[in-house]
Amino acid sequence: METTAPVADAATTGLYAEVQLFYARQVHLLDTVQAEPFAATFAIDGVFEHSPDSPPARGREGIAEEVRGYNERRFAHDPVRRRHWFNMLDVREQPDGSVHTEFYALVATTRPGQPVPVIAPSCTVRDVLVREGGELRTLRRKVTQDHLSF
């Protein structure tokens, strides 16, 4: 079977933790709607496909605009705190130096004075990560919402 495969490379090289840290910071920017800094966590030619309702956003300007527009359209008159949660993160380094990841996501949305958040939708996410100046950047992200995946 897989018993001759190398032992968990991403774990031993620190890459696994580096990706976790990268996602934590990326998500904090998204959830505080810092559109430009969030977009800067994508590669210059990054592609962000986050919803079947929107065409993929392309490039940092396009991604920043998508994030700002999405938040304005949906939450301008419905103030919320949104928290993206990622989990069960698989990380696979590729021969070309890029990094493929696959993970689960949920969004906890809280409204003023209501302690119980709405936790939805459940998604799977696939990213291609690359390095720019040594730092991880998302080159492509594709989000699939479970309720639309049947």
Residues that bind a second copy (CB under 8 A): 1-5, 7-8, 10-18, 20-25, 27-28, 40, 79, 81, 83-91, 102-104, 106, 108, 110-122, 124, 132-136, 145-150
Minimum CB separation of residue 60 from a second copy in Å reads 10
Question: Closer CB to a second copy, residue 12 or residue 54?
Answer: 12
Question: Closer CB to a second copy, residue 30 or residue 128?
Answer: 30
Q: In this structure, are strands 42-49 and 135-145 parallel, antiparallel, or unpaired?
A: parallel
Question: Closer CB to a second copy, residue 34 or residue 124?
Answer: 124
Minimum CB separation of residue 56 from a second copy in Å reads 21
DSSP sequence for 56-100: PEEHHHHHHHHHHHHHHHHHTTS--EEEEEEEEEEEEE-TTS-EE
First to last CA, the chain: 31
| Residue whose token pair is 């590669």 | 43
The candidate with the shortest Cα–Cα distance to 29, out of 79, 83, 74, 76, is 83
Question: Closer CB to a second copy, residue 76 or residue 114?
Answer: 114
